A and B are shown apart, each in its own frame.
Chain A
Amino acid sequence: MYEETACFDPNPMTEGTISVDGFSVPNNNFEVRLSMEELSYHHHNNHTPCHEDVAIDIELQQHLAFNIENNNTNNTTTNLDNTHLIDNPYNLHEMQDMDNFNYHQQQQHLIDIQNGHQNFDCSSYPATTPDLLNLFNMPRCSASSFMPNSSISFSNPTLQQNPTNNYPNSLGFLGEVPTVTDSPSGGSVFYDPVFHLNHLPQQPPLFRELFQSLPHGYTLPGSRNGSLFGTNGVVVDDREGCVYQEDGDVRQFENVLEFTGKTRDGETKHFATERHRRQHLNKKYDALRSLVPNPTKADRASVVGDAIEYIKELLRTVNELKLLVEKKRCGRERSKRHKTESEYGSGDLESCGMKPLGGDPDQSYNGSLRSSWLQRKSKDTEVDVRIIDDEVTIKLVQRKSSCLLSVSKVLDDLQLDLHHVAGGHIGDFYSFLFNTKIYEGSSVYASAIANKLIEVVDRQCAAIQPTSSY
């Protein structure tokens, strides 16, 4: 039973708070406290004295049952099995002392105990906790239990009459608990659907605060209940220290296991989901890198930088292509119109949406200049193509060999009129700058030029390589 609670570490808290304060409330509180101590104690002992515990537990429970005033009709003391409670005449003593405890601490302890109890009793949790709540007549919210020093007082339904101004703001919602827990459905807040409805929205942030103050190792019994924390698993998970193995929400569970930095062996707990998240993120970065044409360095910042440049380039290319398509369409329409003009004697140059400049039918630009620029890199070659209007400037840097011949062939194929070439041999590289003009009527675009050039030059390099003599 105890083994199931993997990381419960009630020690730091329980020990400090044990037995000191008297419960001013005559009822259940001290029992709760007792059980807390017992729990911790029991935990410490590693569950060895089971039998005695059982006996005493039962005894205690019966004792408790008497003390419980409220709606708890449960004498499911038998349900309070050995799991949570421990023995100790020591505890019995404390029971008497408890009367002295002040209200607040009682509350804390109640909560602590409850939590402790809950922590322990994983397996029988569903069975026992309602009973326990009934017994103790306490709302189930355990958050406050983790704050031994806080002035949070967990409202006991029996103590409803007490002013709720005891409750600190952060646990305001807890303050409402009594009303909820008064319902015959039992003390278990968590089981109370109304409670969920009332408090669920508030809970995550509040719990977050509470969680932050949790000593490591403490779990929220509520964590088991996926509905409370379900929305933001990450938030909750950061705080969860303990593992409820039997709880239904496995995912929550996993998160609990993994996220908290507050557990004793904190680092190992981060792994599984955090690792998945990292892997997922890395996969996305790799996908981005694979999309970009010129990936250089492998680190994330340059991947993003490359992506930015590539998106800009794609936008330019799309604009260029649109312009070309438009121009071609207009050209076609115009040539059709030329044909038909002679027949019908009129042409509507506006139809293609472009206004010719100076009335020249071939000047189909609507006042905007076609401009485009892109770069492509391969292993040995770098190509930079810039197009403004009908002039194409190509810069080519190549490692292996002088490629003027093949380049000029390609340029001819692409219907580019070579106007100027400059370049030569620099160190290991051959670098050339070509100024060309697009022949009239050709609708070649930048990426086509760049890709073709790289392809041809690489091919030539590959071809030349075997024949080069050293």
Chain B
Amino acid sequence: MEYVGSALDGLFITKEGNSRGRVGRRRYSNDDGTEYKSKNLHAERRRRQKLSDRLLALRALVPIITNMNKATIIEDAISYIEELQNNVKVLQGHLYEMEASSEEGTLPRSEEIDPAEEMRKSGIQAEVEVTQINGNKLWIKIIFEKTRGGFTRLMEAMTAFGFELIDTSVTTSKGAMLVSSCVKGIHGEINEVQRAKELLLQIINGI
């Protein structure tokens, strides 16, 4: 009914605001009467159509349907969502319990590749390259052995030294990780390319 009301509002251009406060309509009230009336009618009709389509889609999703009017669709959807959320919580609880009491640790990690082996096999060497772009920016390229948590340690170290990665690309292949990035100095300009390179090498060796 509110739609009817609002359609009527559009047609009769009443000053009385409807529940949704469509200000735009009121602005057109006295000019170009018929033109805006029909535009509004179309727009309003489309809006109503859109809402009713969506309500239909919502109803199609919800398995429990009581009545078929707008209010009950929404009610049913609310209760269904709550039920699903409850299910999720329950399942998460199950999972958590199972995690807590799991015996996963006994499974051998037979699948993990030894990165150092891989690297050596493929002839990849750890390396660092540094180039200066402009006053504050450097471009770096680092290849190092990929280990669990290695990237994190690299990031920590770089942040500690004042390097901030701006545009980054990281790939992993054959047990090695390639970091290619544009680096900005947090604390001011970085002019010493050589020093940066040495620093990074140090970092990598420490990982």
Contacts and interface: CB of A to CB of B under 8 A. Distances in A.
Contacts, number: 152
A284 B61 contact: no
A308 B54 contact: yes
21 contacts: A277-B1, A278-B2, A281-B74, A284-B71, A284-B78, A291-B82, A291-B85, A292-B81, A304-B54, A304-B55, A311-B61, A317-B88, A321-B88, A321-B91, A328-B99, A338-B106, A362-B111, A408-B152, A418-B151, A421-B169, A448-B92
A288 B78 contact: yes
Given A284-B71, A328-B95, A404-B165, A301 B87 contact: no
B81 A412 contact: no
A288 B103 contact: no
Interface string B174-194: 000000001000000000000
Given A299-B20, A314-B85, A321-B92, A402 B165 contact: yes
Given A304-B55, A325-B98, A409-B152, A310 B74 contact: no
Contact of A282 (B19, B50, B58, B102): B19
A197 interface: no
Q: How large is the interface on B (under 10, 10 to 19, 20 to 34, 35 or more residues)?
A: 35 or more
B50 to A, nearest CB: 5
B51 A304 contact: yes
B11 to A, nearest CB: 14
Contacts of B78: 284, 287-288, 291
B114 interface: no
A311 B77 contact: yes
Given A287-B78, A412-B152, A325 B170 contact: no
Contacts of B88: 314, 317-318, 321, 447
Interface in A403-424: 404-405, 408-409, 412, 417-424
B207 to A, nearest CB: 13
A287 B80 CA distance: 13
Interface in A309-338: 310-312, 314-315, 317-318, 321-322, 324-325, 328-329, 331-332, 335-336, 338
- The secondary-structure label for the interface of chain B is helix
A405 B61 contact: no
Contacts of B155: 404-405, 408
- The secondary-structure label for the interface of chain A is helix
B94 A325 contact: yes
A173 interface: no
A420 B159 CA distance: 20
B42 interface: no
Contacts of A51: none
A425 B167 contact: yes
A311 B80 contact: yes
Contact of A445 (B62, B81, B95, B168): B95
